Amino acid sequence: MQKNCSTTLKKVETNLPEVFDLFSGCGGLALGFKASGYNIKQGIEISESASKTFSYNFYWKNGLKKDHICADVKNVSSSFFKERFDDNGCIIVGGPPCQAYSKIGKAKLRSLGEDRISTNDPRGYLFNELLRFAYELNTKAVVVENVPESTNYGGINIPQYISESLEKKGFESYWTLLNSADFGVPQIRERIFVVGIRRDIIHSFELPEPTHRSNDLNITRNEMRFKYFSKFKNFKKPKKAKESLPNWITVGDAILDLPVLFSNSNSKYKLNKLNMYMDYKSGPQNQFQKKMRTWSEREERKVTGHAFRKNTRDFIIFEKMNQGDDYRDASKIADLLLEEECRLNNINKIENPQEYKKLRKKIVPPYDRSKFFGKWKRLDQNKPSHTLVAHLDTDTYSHIHPWEPRGISVREAARLQSFPDDFLFQCTMGDAFRQIGNAVPPLLSKSVAESIKKSLMGS
């Protein structure tokens, strides 16, 4: 490893509480805590695929003969963990499922009938399981992550509810909203964090310190809600980024060194296996790329997970889209391509209705043009990405590569979430995209973990 490239991963600090990660997904939240010196002792995840990804990256590749627990957290007794942490105690962290809170999840539930409205979804109350573990294990601290929509769940502000519950049990607690881009993640991703630390051990109460700043004065949709959030006594407004900080990391900053996969729409598609090693296109060109390659004790020389979806119909549309274009622009491009093909093949919509219909199906995407404009979006290499979501497991139209005519690869999605290049996805492409889209960005998690360390250790 280059001496001038400081590694992100720290050795375990023996005086810190050990971490148990519930609703862990593939391990984004845990990875940030590990990078801050915490030992990741164990965790629970209901998805078998995500559990295997966690086990591989936290245990198996480090020679540890143990498995992440794949189970429904409701069926696991906290007593299982009681003898698994040392005298330094434990921290319970987790991101309970967000489907009951998120706009996409609510819409999907509504489509299934009135009895499936979001407030009837038992997943909306799974945070109680996390609190159960915290109280029964007498944990030193609690961290809960979720989407901003959790602040209004059928009229209930879930983060405020959790904070009040923690305070009744002897914790000092706050909740806040953090933007991943402020913490070195090349993605505008706003998430709620609830933090609770036991009153009998707390030294201070620290909010995470931003490491980057926006290079414009625009505020996000959720930042506009700070005035409303401030009505709740446990809400703390996040720290403002200092003007001396570097600008937000862009998509180009994040992925420019990765191998070329599909230079133009006539390129031959190749389905790469996720465990296949490829040479980088270049050496690291900035600090973010160095960090992604040197997260652990050695510098990565090759990269894995560089596979993308075969969208044969749409490659030529992607190619003609400008960076920042959305589905409205893609639709106009598709119409022009159809018009040209009709002219070349002498097909008239009125005189040749069947041939026209067949050709249109071959060229034009069928999605509703009056809504869901963001269903297709070509990334702008000079800006951070918009939020990655689990729907990437179905398609990657929402994140079209900025200069190649394709959707982003698994490794590019991982980079946009700040997963390091030595984090391997030993699963299907769909599972990998879903795990990445559901994850907490490790660099954001690391900032939260560092703030809790200051609160616990008084440094």
List active site positions: 98
Can you list the alpha helix ranges (DSSP code H) found in 294-394?
315-320, 327-345, 353-363
H or E stretch covering 90: strand 90-94
**Radius of gyration of the chain from its Cα atoms, rounded to whole angstroms:** 23
Q: What DSSP element (H or E) covers 280?
A: none
Pairing outcome for strands 141-146 and 69-70: unpaired
Question: Do 17 and 90 form a contact (C-beta atoms < 8 A)?
Answer: yes
Residue 154: its H or E element:
none
| Short-list 410, 411, 385, CA closest to 399 | 385
At 20, the amino acid letter reads: F
CA distance 188 to 185: 8
Separation CA 150–CA 165 (nearest Å): 16
Angle between helices 48-58 and 429-438 (to 10 degrees): 80
Query: Using an 8 Å Cβ cutoff, are 288 and 254 in contact?
Result: yes
User: What distance, in Å, lies between the first and last C-alpha atoms of the chain?
Assistant: 29
CB 296 within 8 A of CB 58: no
